[in-house]
Amino acid sequence: MVRLEETIEVAQPLEDVFRYISDFRTIPEWDPGIVAAEKETPGPVGEGTVFSLEVSFWGRSVPMTYTIKEFSPPFQVVLEGDADNLHAIDTITFVKTAQGTHIRYVAELSMLGLGAWFEPLLKPLLVRMGRKTAKGIRKALSAGNFSPIELPST
């Protein structure tokens, strides 16, 4: 298992940041490794919501499904992701600060099958991807770019 952890400080309100990040339809805006994302389940975003993603990995597009396992607005969302040879648990916590919001993003990635043999070799690549994601979140939530999405209330 590879564990990635990034912290991000943004000057945006806690509730807006939580809504934006926990709705994985926005992930192509802040994660450069994601080509597309769609919400598969009806109703508001919450526990049990399923998202289908297209992940760009080594020059090819790989389908991945993420499901919200824990949803505690506006403080935490936990998503579980599965692809052919990859399992991921993403835990994202949000804390209100005097300047805006502190985000802690932890991703635990496990390669499955034959991919498990290559996991140690992939760790530097995955760490770089994690840093690019954190940079993407900062950029997407910067004052000039951020437009909070409106989601139906739960």
- Predicted confidence (pLDDT) per residue in 124-135, tens digit: 777 887 788 889
Residue 37 covered by a domain = yes
Report the pLDDT value the prediction gives residue 1, as an integer from 0 to 100: 86
At 97, which CATH number?
3.30.530.20
- Residue 154 confidence (pLDDT) above 60: no
d(CA 99, CA 78): 25
Angle, CA of 108, 58 and 50, to the nearest 5°: 50
Phi, psi of 12 (to 5 degrees): -125, 155
What is the count of structural domains for the chain? 1
Residue 151 covered by a domain = no
Report the pLDDT value the prediction gives residue 145, as an integer from 0 to 100: 61
Domain range holding 54?
Answer: 2-140
What is the pTM for the complete model shown? Answer: 0.88
Kindly report the average pLDDT of the chain as a whole number: 87
